[in-house]
Amino acid sequence: MIEVDLHLHTTFSDGRLTPTQLVRLCAQRGLRVIAITDHDTTNGLPEALETVRAFPHMSLIPGIELSTDVPGGEVHLLGYFVNYTDQSFQDTLSRFRDGRQDRARRMVEKLNDLGVKISWERVKEIAAGAAIGRPHIAQAMVEAGYVQYPKDAFERYIGRNGVAYVERLKLTPVEAVRLLRKNGALPVMAHPTYSSTKAGRDEVANLRETLQGLRDAGLVGMEVYYGDYTPEQVAMLSRLADELGLVPCGGSDYHASGNPGEPEPGTVGPPLSTVKALEALRHARPRGD
């Protein structure tokens, strides 16, 4: 039985359930510990924390997800027990969100030039003030009938190798780990390897060396029990986490995206011992400080 899900998105970034709807869904699915990890924002956390109070058997870890660039790819970092009252951290997040906005507008322009006539106004309406991301553009493309599912938009147009892809301001993975540590959050590498339902997302190159380097900068864990990973992928990552002394984390990465076969809360996640390990590190004044 799955009791923990440490990777979830809400309407405050590119998820399609509000924090309240998401927390209720997780409670219905019998989860005991969840973390909300929106992209570049903590603004959904107060509502989620308030809603969780109605479910005494469940607790919420405040989290965040940051995207970083490496040559030829991306590494995402999750931060747990994030201190969302940290003003300097919030200023940085706000800059990342501005970067998302510019980049989304440029992607819509590129799509328009390619004959995909979705409007920037509609994309902004769909995002409704959230940290705007490619899934909002994908949704506009579904609505307008250009693709059947959001994932199809990634495959042809807005995925890393798509014709309408545009870069945005991103940190390096080490910078993101340091930023999270400075905030007091515990950094964890997200989805380290290939995911079959997210075309165009490859494994992190030189995974072991990358993890070792990040661990020296303050990384404490990596996702192992993630999304649609196969038992073989989980076994490989679990061995690696063990060898490197990293906490084996994970979760569904649920967005209510509308993609077929999307892993849902309650179908995948780490054991409760993972939460205990994170809590111990949190109180331990971790490495790098």
Where on the chain is the footprint of ligand AMP (CB under 6 A)? Answer: 14, 39, 67, 133-135, 150-151, 154, 159, 198-201, 255, 259
134 binding partner (options ligand AMP, Zn ion, Fe ion, none; Cβ < 5 to 8 Å by kind): ligand AMP
Provide, rounded to whole angstroms, the least separation between the CB of residue 229 and ligand AMP.
15
- Footprint (CB under 5 A) of Fe ion, residues 104-163: none
Report how far residue 197's alpha carbon sits from residue 222's, in angstroms, rounded to the nearest whole number: 20
Provide, rounded to whole angstroms, the least separation between the CB of residue 61 and Zn ion.
18
- Nearer CB in complex with Fe ion: 99/112: 99
- Nearer CB in complex with Zn ion: 47/262: 262
Give me the residues that bind Zn ion (CB under 5 A), please. Answer: 14
Provide, rounded to whole angstroms, the least separation between the CB of residue 214 and Fe ion.
15
- Footprint (CB under 5 A) of Fe ion, residues 226-265: 253
- Nearer CB in complex with Fe ion: 146/225: 225
Among 250, 245, 183, smallest CA distance to 212 is for 245
- Nearer CB in complex with ligand AMP: 89/154: 154
- Footprint (CB under 5 A) of Fe ion, residues 61-100: 65, 76
Output the residue with the shortest Cβ distance to ligand AMP. 133
- Nearer CB in complex with ligand AMP: 158/222: 158
- Nearer CB in complex with Zn ion: 201/215: 201
Q: What are phi and psi of 281, to 5 degrees?
A: -65, -35
150 binding partner (options Zn ion, Fe ion, ligand AMP, none; Cβ < 5 to 8 Å by kind): ligand AMP
Q: Are 146 and 254 in contact (CB under 8 A)?
A: no
Provide, rounded to whole angstroms, the least separation between the CB of residue 197 and ligand AMP.
7
159 binding partner (options Zn ion, Fe ion, ligand AMP, none; Cβ < 5 to 8 Å by kind): ligand AMP
Contact residues toward Fe ion (CB under 5 A) are 65, 76, 190, 253
